[in-house]
Amino acid sequence: EADIYQTPRYLVIGTGKKITLECSQTMGHDKMYWYQQDPGMELHLIHYSYGVNSTEKGDLSSESTVSRIRTEHFPLTLESARPSHTSQYLCASRVGAIGEQYFGPGTRLTVT
């Protein structure tokens, strides 16, 4: 069973606030991912990392930024939240060379 954690689980915040969504995993996985998921829509990759000090933008353009200072930690930051950022954000990490990704429980963000 994968051990990947996300906090907070739910966040309601006003427009213009800076927020950081936390993601951590205890499995020592090198590769980590952030996805955005809207109701009835597919998951879209917004950021990924192949290891410490490595970050890349995904297929879906996002105003968020990420950092990877430690293997186990992959936080996502929005400098100035807007209502268009309202969505569910899912963090995942990958095991070995086989390809499966394991997901955290998600953070449901609402920007008012």
CB neighbours of residue 28 within 10 Å: 9
> What's the min distance (Å) between Cβ of 16 and another protein?
27
Closest CA to 90 of 18, 1, 4: 4
Per rule CB under 8 A, count of chain residues that contact another protein? 24
CA 63/CA 69 separation, integer angstroms: 20
Print the SS3 string covering 5-24: EEECCEEEECCCCCEEEEEE
> What's the min distance (Å) between Cβ of 105 and another protein?
5
Of 89-108, binders to another protein (CB under 8 A) are: 90, 92, 94, 97-106, 108
Of 51-90, binders to another protein (CB under 8 A) are: 58-59, 90
Candidate list 17, 31, 57, 73; residue touching another protein; CB under 8 A: 31
The tokens of 47 are what? 């950021």
Candidate list 19, 25, 48, 109; residue touching another protein; CB under 8 A: 48
